[in-house]
Amino acid sequence: MNVPLSHLEPQPLWKHFYRLTQIPRPSGHEEHIRSFMSGFGTSLGLHTIVDDAGNVLIRKPATPGMEHCKRVILQAHLDMVPEKESDSPHDFRHDPLTPFVDGEWVRARGTTLGADNGIGVAAIMSILESSSLPHGPLEALLTSNEENGMSGAFGLRSDLLQGDILLNLDSEDEGELFTGCAGGLEGTVTFTCGQQKPPADYRGYDIRIRGLKGGHSGMDIHLGRGNANKIMNRLLFEAYLRHGILLGSLDGGGLRNAIARESTARIAIPSRSERDVLATLERHAGIIRKELSTTDTGMEIEAEPAPLPDSIMDDGSLQKLLRITAAFPDGVMRMSHEMPGLVETSNNLASMRAEGGRATIACLLRSSVDSARDDLQRMIESIAGLAGAEAVFDGAYPGWKPDPESEVLQLMQHVYEHTFGHSPQVRAVHAGLECGIIGAACPGLDMISFGPTIRSPHSPDERVQIASVSRFMDLLTATLAEVPAHHTSEKHA
């Protein structure tokens, strides 16, 4: 394996992970990786299915002597979040990633790495390919479009899976076993903007925010990182109130499950107040830098001359946009009392677009408590309603309630202690794992989620800790070797 990861252990996993980095697989464009994985299963002589939702299912018989073990579903998702640095020319639909070793981590140059969830997929490939690892009957479920709506999990037929235990390989803290997750809901607020020509005595400027860390809107929401949409709104609001600046266009953030890292606004400044406006912007940029001095040291805020916008929002529309965004909830709403340190409810103000007579604000609500999620939805509906905007909510997905009596949890706690000499942490996660959706479609599955240590997923700073990948794989293979047999009263006995 003549690749930058060739010396890493376990070599079969890293071999497959590198292959995955060379196959474009952004969410919604998974045709290449789907074809690759289908071909991989077929090449091993294994029963392989591609369903109508774009999921790939590969079945592998048990190794000799383990035919009567409970059936295990190994589950990961095919797609990755396509985030890159603003100056990167990378085309996620056509270009391979460039992974490299950086000390104890693996990362990619200028882009997300796709360790979320490529390490899980690579681990599954290693097990399917192996002729020496002991295991009972296996199903590999590789779902589509997890990062952008979980449509693969939602489209899963309840009769497709035959397993009893589901091991979700999509968590990001090695040494922790996850037994529950938050549900989610997508929200979109829109309104029509009045347009007019900018006054002749105004000058065009671009305001750019970049260099924020961003991150996963569930896993990282409690870290207090800056949201480029909120920061941009503060700057524009201050400049509007003090100097009457005008807005031509706005483009901030991206995917709903990623904290917004960048934003750009094209504005018009009164020529007579140009110096004062720039001073105001710089002063408030300094204030925000101080607020985020421990979380976002790389943030950059720039104002540069640009062509005057062809059209601008009228005053009423601009006020509406600024006030809606100022009032819009973003970040942690409530922490869990039942599980200390766990975020219960949050909202991510993910993206903002304003141009051509229309403004759109997109967000992702998360909560492990349905009533709290509903209350947050009502809050956003109320803000939109008071401003005369429309709020639409869809894409709801269920949470996954922890089961302290789970047989696979008890098994994995025992295996972990025996393998590593200490106990794992048992947690729930404030993120949307597919377990909730799959469990709703296939009642009775005993589920758990675990994975290696991944930091800053959904951002170009994504990286996976090398040593944790080895421990993750050791835990997975040891668990498969210890899966219990069916009781005589159970199905498949």
Find out whether 254 and 216 touch, Cβ atoms under 8 Å: no
The strand pairing partners of 166, in sequence order, are 73, 447
Q: Let me know if 89 is exposed, middle or buried by CB neighbors in 10 A (0-12, 13-18, 19+).
A: exposed
Out of 30, 79, 173, 186, which one is annotated catalytic? 79
Pairwise CA distance, residues 60 & 62, whole Å: 7
Pairwise CA distance, residues 210 & 85, whole Å: 9
251 belongs to the catalytic site = no
Read off the tokens for 183. Answer: 């549900």
Count of positions (residues) in the chain: 493
Nearest to 232 by CA among 203, 261, 199, 254: 261
Amino acid at 199: P
Find out whether 452 and 469 touch, Cβ atoms under 8 Å: yes
The answer for residues whose C-beta is within 8 angstroms of residue 250's C-beta and 6 or more apart is 232, 263, 264, 265, 266, 321, 352, 353, 354, 355, 359
Out of 83, 116, 139, 146, which one is annotated catalytic? 146
Read off the tokens for 297. Answer: 């040291």
Read off the tokens for 358. Answer: 């229309």
Pairwise CA distance, residues 282 & 202, whole Å: 19
Nearest to 407 by CA among 368, 446, 464: 446
DSSP 96: P
Q: How are beta strands 195-196 and 312-313 bridged, if at all?
A: antiparallel
Cα pseudo-dihedral 386, 392, 398, 399, rounded to 10: -40
Beta strands in 109-154 (DSSP E): 138-143
DSSP 88: -
Find out whether 161 and 58 touch, Cβ atoms under 8 Å: no
**What 3-state class would DSSP assign to 316?**
helix
Read off the tokens for 38. Answer: 């289908």
The H or E element that residue 249 is part of is strand 246-253
Nearest to 192 by CA among 396, 36, 358: 358
79 belongs to the catalytic site = yes
Alpha helices in 244-369 (DSSP H): 274-291, 315-327
Nearest to 87 by CA among 114, 112, 113, 110: 110
Kindly list the catalytic residues. 79, 146
